Amino acid sequence: MTFGLARRDVRPKVPLRHGEGDKHRLTSLEGLAALSLDALSSVAYGPEAIVLVLVAAGTGALTATLPITLVIAALLAVLVVSYGQVIAVHPDGGGAYAVAKKDLGARTSLLAAASLVVDYVLTVAVSLAAGAAALASAFPALSSHLLAVCLIGLVLLTAVNLWGIAESARVLMLPTVLFIVSILGIVVIGLLRSHPAAMVGSAQPVHATEALGVLLILKAFSAGCSALTGVEAIANGVPTFREPRVKRAQRTELMLGALLGLMLVGLAVLIRRDHVAPRGGVTVLAQLTAGSYGTGWAYYATNIVVTLVLLFAANTSFGGLPVLMSLLARDHRLPHLFGLRAERPVYRYGVLALALLSAALLIAVGANTQKLIPLFAIGVFIGFSISQIGLVRHWAVQRPPGWLRRAVVNGTGALLTTLACLVLLTTKFLEGAWVVVVAVPLLMLMFARIQRYYTAVGAELELGKIPPLPLRTAKSLVIVPIGDVSKLAQHALTAALALGDEVVAVAVHADPDKAQALRETWDRWNPGVRLDILDSPHRSLVEPIVEYVQHAGSGGRQIAVLIPEVEPKHRRYEILQNQRGILLATVLRARTDVVVCMLPYRLSL
Amino acid sequence: MTFGLARRDVRPKVPLRHGEGDKHRLTSLEGLAALSLDALSSVAYGPEAIVLVLVAAGTGALTATLPITLVIAALLAVLVVSYGQVIAVHPDGGGAYAVAKKDLGARTSLLAAASLVVDYVLTVAVSLAAGAAALASAFPALSSHLLAVCLIGLVLLTAVNLWGIAESARVLMLPTVLFIVSILGIVVIGLLRSHPAAMVGSAQPVHATEALGVLLILKAFSAGCSALTGVEAIANGVPTFREPRVKRAQRTELMLGALLGLMLVGLAVLIRRDHVAPRGGVTVLAQLTAGSYGTGWAYYATNIVVTLVLLFAANTSFGGLPVLMSLLARDHRLPHLFGLRAERPVYRYGVLALALLSAALLIAVGANTQKLIPLFAIGVFIGFSISQIGLVRHWAVQRPPGWLRRAVVNGTGALLTTLACLVLLTTKFLEGAWVVVVAVPLLMLMFARIQRYYTAVGAELELGKIPPLPLRTAKSLVIVPIGDVSKLAQHALTAALALGDEVVAVAVHADPDKAQALRETWDRWNPGVRLDILDSPHRSLVEPIVEYVQHAGSGGRQIAVLIPEVEPKHRRYEILQNQRGILLATVLRARTDVVVCMLPYRLSL
């Protein structure tokens, strides 16, 4: 699921300038490519999730796939209408977190934020796992190396994102169109054929272990709801559309709903007619592909397109998570650092954290898509429920014309998504859903504690109050640690004399002879600055200087230590220089309250 | 092998003060405990090395163990006399590196340094591997987990050294005495018995694959010379002895020679008489232990004492390597950083590097002592040869009374050790000795390149020349990045006003409304300092400030950027603060030549 903004908006290299012309913004069709890949690609694992649950009651139970899919399609319709309203009410985007913050209070917004973080990680993991399965359907040799394929894909995505290659909606147009055409082609050609063109994969024995009861149907429904993940992305990204952006975004949402609904129902009809059951080594979608296109080039091409689109879907998280983190940082719920997502190092932390968490998940489940789906769906459905409950609240408070009808639509949606969420939580608790139950509250707690800390710091710094005026009378003493009489010392003293009312040089020498030699050279140089030579019996450089600085007292003076640093031109020499200065600076900053100044002296080598 | 000083001298926590009373220095006996463990513990693997080489020519060839050991004992006598002379000529200690630097020129001293570094790593690896074998002889269950035992021991040693627990010679007295008594007891009781008290280990079939020729005898001799590793440590550590330190050190060297010779020859006699051959799961020393003491408590106790002493021997490297590294750093052959070995972080780098390299070696050879011994002996023998060739050179130049006799003794020693070194290099080249052949020149090259770099830097800084006088006329401009009007801003401006002739505050705001609000608050505060608000369309904090600083130009003024930093009281909050300041400081230092000042503001939480 994407959050907030399209990819290119978060890339440090080619960011959109504030108020920059509309031409870089998205049309309705481009919006479909940029913001719907995650949702559309869900057809690669959603229908399969239903089939895999139902088969527990034997192949006969698979006939329930179609009615369950129709219910899911109805829920999709409710969600599309609902998100059309979210778009109108929140034209600034922001998703469940923004809605909850505005309409449902702090605690719910923490829940929304936590579930969104979980979702970003799971989007990456699920999309990669499903992509690996799609690729292995075309190339069976890969099927025993699914985890390796996933991790290679993850490394690829991480590298691309660390590099920061900008990706435009136009790049995504071609795979999106190919994907839609391929899937709809499967449905149309499949319906025209009297029987499947080809079978792929190996038949698997089916042992019915459960009866087709209400619980199993509820489980299949909940698992199938994973096909709906991602439909919220358009509402989150309204600001990236061209004007009239609300209209365009609503149109894109409608297109997404129609396409996704058509695909899901069409695939379900084929599944029922052709009695598709799970087969070894291939996905359900690959079976349907072979059934319509045969096993020629079109089979390979379709599987590759599906893989590619799933890879792009995984990539949306790398754009979305930094945006969410910067929103949370601005609300003091994450380290302020993450508010600086335009800074490359900060952006990279986010990318790496996301990659590591996804890798951990993929390894934990052995790249099995179906094991990740309950976790994924729970997170997404918490967001769905929050958004819709927020809207119900909004209608109840604002009461615009027709508010009751709208509230009923959103309320129904909220009820269904909450139900799906609860079913998944209870039926899949021991099979992995507990991870969400543990992770979400922990994240909420962390956000809350960070916020409490920042509030306390703000109070201590008296933010929002006018502080006393700064003093203008203080004199300053600048202490300059030096090693030898050299151009470096001259450079440092020049800077120190400009900054300080009084300047003193200090040197540390363990060897009395060397100390004497330095004293003599200093006197010959006679720079007009006092030199104090400190004894260091233990060969420590840092300790004598720290003690000297501590004893220099302040006497109302501002004390600064100016550390000259030789900066090699080539990075490979960095280990040879500066380390002493950095060590001294670190200890001084930890143990004294003086100003620590670093002055670079650039070498030519 | 230990280098230079006893352990406690290198520990940051309780270092010896320069000129501190003699009572902390070593007596002859304490010197044996502090500086001879490495050498004495060699009996755990030296005799075994001979047996394992000879057995290739069948069990009959094992009779050659005794004559080979007698030659090694003779070499030991030469080395002891030789090192007695080294002690007299170099009462300041320093070992092969110091000798080579003084008498043999720069290139040889690089060779000495490189071989010493290799030795420190190998001392740790060999002692741990031999210790694990000794422990497994007592507890056979461990014999299939030797590598794990080694790595656990290594983790233990590393932790103790990172912690920096001071260890005194007195702590080592007890295990040293127990070790000497146990080994001599094996010899004496063994000789009194008519036949071995007990057999341990499983018999192994012996297939003679080689004839007992000159080459095999040379190989056995060279491998057995590993029993001599460590005899140089006393000469390296002369300064740690009490006055008269030369006398005391020479006496300790003699004691070591006598004890080690006695042990080696005694064990060889027992090996011959009892026809000891390699047996599975136990060391040769353990077989001899069982032969003398039986397999009761004394067997276990002896093996544990041997293990303990080997662990202490491994530990000597952790004290010795930092001393060597600091000597090299003072000669500009390692990063100057390592000259600061009294600083805890620096010391820790050395400990960790040594631990990682030893772990790599242990893993590479699967904790097999005998595979490490050739590498170890080569490194040590390079040092032996250099020390003695240096002495020959010394006698030839100084020509004191009796110089020719002394030169012949040292020359013979040098010849024998060089021969052993060459035999090991050629016969064990493919079995691991190539590692030394690769590592030593690479280390030498690195030392030489580092020295060349420092020389070039010294020339550029005009070290040794009197530089021009520092300028006194420069004015200063201090730029203070601020976020809000708060006590932090007040604190920073007070410091800046003390340091700068002119002060200007800068703030970065992406949001025009917030910028306007800040401007109004600033005007109400009216601190008498100009505030420049920078636009940041990309939400970058760093880039606008860097550009601002770059455009501030200098105009002959010294420019400083003063970054106020909130310092949390608890470390766990550090991720929440400062990150922006550190980021800004890093970029400013990399891309501008201004003084970067950090001002701490300490929070109460």
According to DSSP, residue B428 is labeled: T
CB of B493 less than 8 A from some CB of A: yes
**Pick from B474, B491, B527: CB nearest A497:** B474
The single-letter code of the amino acid at B328 is: L
| Chain B residues 292-351 with a CB less than 8 Å from chain A | 326, 335-337, 339-343, 345-346
Distance, CA of A35 to CA of A320 (rounded, Å): 11
Chain-chain contact of A537 with B467 (C-beta, under 8 angstroms): no
Coil, strand or helix at B598:
strand
- pLDDT for residue B15: 36
Greatest Cα pair distance in chain B: 103
Chain-chain contact of A538 with B342 (C-beta, under 8 angstroms): yes
Chain-chain contact of A469 with B528 (C-beta, under 8 angstroms): yes
Chain-chain contact of B485 with A470 (C-beta, under 8 angstroms): no
CB contact set of B145 (below 8 Å; sequence gap of 6+): none
pTM score of the predicted model: 0.70
> Token pair for residue B442?
């690479």
Choose among B369, B390, B525: nearest CA to B112.
Answer: B390
Q: Which CATH class is domain A7-454?
A: mainly alpha
- pLDDT for residue B531: 92
- pLDDT for residue A12: 34
Helices of type H across A552-596: 579-591
Q: What are phi and psi of A439, to 5 degrees?
A: -70, -40
**Pick from B340, B470, B579: CB nearest A540:** B340
The ipTM is 0.72
Q: What is the pLDDT of residues B256-301, one digit of tens each?
A: 999 999 999 999 999 998 888 888 889 999 999 999 998 889 999 9
- pLDDT for residue B364: 86
Coil, strand or helix at A505:
strand
Which residues of chain B are modeled with pLDDT < 70?
1-24, 94, 164-169, 341-342, 537-539, 554, 578
Distance, CA of B121 to CA of A211 (rounded, Å): 67
Burial of residue A264 (CB within 10 Å: 0-12, 13-18, 19+) is: buried
Distance, CA of B531 to CA of B256 (rounded, Å): 75
Q: Sort residue B393 into left (φ over 0), alpha (ψ -120 to 50) or beta.
A: alpha
CB of A459 less than 8 A from some CB of B: no
Question: What residue of B is the nearest CA neighbor of A568?
Answer: B457
Distance, CA of A309 to CA of A179 (rounded, Å): 7
- pLDDT for residue A167: 56
3-state helix, strand, coil in chain A (%, to 5): 70, 5, 25
**Pick from B345, B467, B575: CB nearest A486:** B467
CB of A585 less than 8 A from some CB of B: yes
Distance, CA of B1 to CA of B237 (rounded, Å): 11
The single-letter code of the amino acid at B69 is: T
Choose among A586, A575, A570: nearest CA to B349.
Answer: A575
Burial of residue A572 (CB within 10 Å: 0-12, 13-18, 19+) is: exposed
Distance, CA of A336 to CA of A321 (rounded, Å): 15
Chain-chain contact of A469 with B596 (C-beta, under 8 angstroms): no
Distance, CA of B37 to CA of B306 (rounded, Å): 11
- pLDDT for residue B4: 38
- Buried b / exposed e over B343-374, threshold 16 CB at 10 Å, is bbebbbbbbeebbebbbebbeebebebbbbbb
Within its chain, how far is the Cα of A78 from the centroid?
A: 28
Chain-chain contact of B538 with A342 (C-beta, under 8 angstroms): yes
Distance, CA of B29 to CA of B45 (rounded, Å): 24
Choose among A169, A230, A167, A234: nearest CA to A30.
Answer: A169
Question: What residue of A is the nearest CA neighbor of B451?
Answer: A576
> Token pair for residue B359?
């772990």
- Would you say B62 and B55 are in contact if contact means Cβ atoms under 8 Å apart? yes
- Which residues of chain A does CATH 3.40.50.620 include? 476-602
- CA dihedral of residues A389, A395, A397, A402 (deg, nearest 10): -160
Burial of residue A102 (CB within 10 Å: 0-12, 13-18, 19+) is: middle
- Which residues of chain A does CATH 1.20.1740.10 include? 7-454
Chain-chain contact of B500 with A499 (C-beta, under 8 angstroms): yes
Chain-chain contact of A337 with B605 (C-beta, under 8 angstroms): no
> Token pair for residue A547?
């003690």
**Pick from B346, B470, B537: CB nearest A493:** B470
Distance, CA of A44 to CA of A476 (rounded, Å): 69
- Would you say A147 and A367 are in contact if contact means Cβ atoms under 8 Å apart? yes
- What distance in Å separates residue B154's CA from the closest CA in chain A? 27
| Chain B residues 42-81 with a CB less than 8 Å from chain A | none
Chain-chain contact of A484 with B471 (C-beta, under 8 angstroms): no
Residues present in chain A in total: 605
Q: What are phi and psi of A117, to 5 degrees?
A: -60, -45
| Unique residue bearing structure tokens 């009084």 | A502
Helices of type H across B331-402: 344-365, 369-398
Residue B280's DSSP bridge partners are: B202
> Token pair for residue A22?
């509309």
Chain-chain contact of A345 with B577 (C-beta, under 8 angstroms): no
CB of B485 less than 8 A from some CB of A: yes
**Pick from A343, A524, A596: CB nearest B597:** A596
- pLDDT for residue A420: 85
Chain-chain contact of A605 with B457 (C-beta, under 8 angstroms): yes
Chain-chain contact of B462 with A576 (C-beta, under 8 angstroms): no
Cis peptide before B335 (omega within 30 of 0): no
| Unique residue bearing structure tokens 């502080």 | A467
Distance, CA of B435 to CA of B415 (rounded, Å): 23
Residues present in chain B in total: 605
**Pick from B485, B537, B567: CB nearest A18:** B537
Distance, CA of A275 to CA of A271 (rounded, Å): 6
CB contact set of B328 (below 8 Å; sequence gap of 6+): B97, B113, B334, B338, B447
CB of B141 less than 8 A from some CB of A: no
- pLDDT for residue B166: 54
Chain-chain contact of B602 with A593 (C-beta, under 8 angstroms): yes
- What distance in Å separates residue A548's CA from the closest CA in chain B? 17
Choose among B53, B83, B61, B9: nearest CA to B387.
Answer: B83
Chain B residues in contact with A496 by the CB 8 A cut-off are 470
**Pick from B456, B462, B589: CB nearest A487:** B462
Distance, CA of A511 to CA of A102 (rounded, Å): 69
- Buried b / exposed e over A144-182, threshold 16 CB at 10 Å, is eebbebbbebbeebbeebeeeeebbbebbeebbebbbeb
Chain B residues in contact with A482 by the CB 8 A cut-off are none
Which residues of chain A are modeled with pLDDT < 70?
1-24, 94, 164-169, 341-342, 537-539, 554, 578
Choose among B131, B182, B183: nearest CA to B156.
Answer: B131
- Buried b / exposed e over B227-258, threshold 16 CB at 10 Å, is bbbbbbbbbbbbbbbbeebbebbbbbbbbbbe
Report the mean per-residue pLDDT for chain A.
Answer: 85
- Would you say A166 and A176 are in contact if contact means Cβ atoms under 8 Å apart? no
- pLDDT for residue A23: 62
Cis peptide before A335 (omega within 30 of 0): no
Query: DSSP of A224-280, one letter per residue?
Result: HGGGGTTTTHHHHTGGGBPSSHHHHHHHHHHHHHHHHHHHHHHHHHHHHHTT----B
Chain-chain contact of B575 with A335 (C-beta, under 8 angstroms): yes
Residue B481's DSSP bridge partners are: B506
CB of B540 less than 8 A from some CB of A: yes
- pLDDT for residue A444: 93
Choose among B119, B121, B107: nearest CA to B389.
Answer: B107
Listing from the earlier edge strand, what are the strands of the sheet with A530-535?
A530-535, A502-509, A476-481, A558-567, A595-602, B595-602, B558-567, B476-481, B502-509, B530-535
- What distance in Å separates residue A91's CA from the closest CA in chain B? 19
Tell me which H or E stretch contains B80: helix B65-89
Tell me which H or E stretch contains B257: helix B245-273
The superfamily in CATH containing domain B476-602 is HUPs (3.40.50.620)
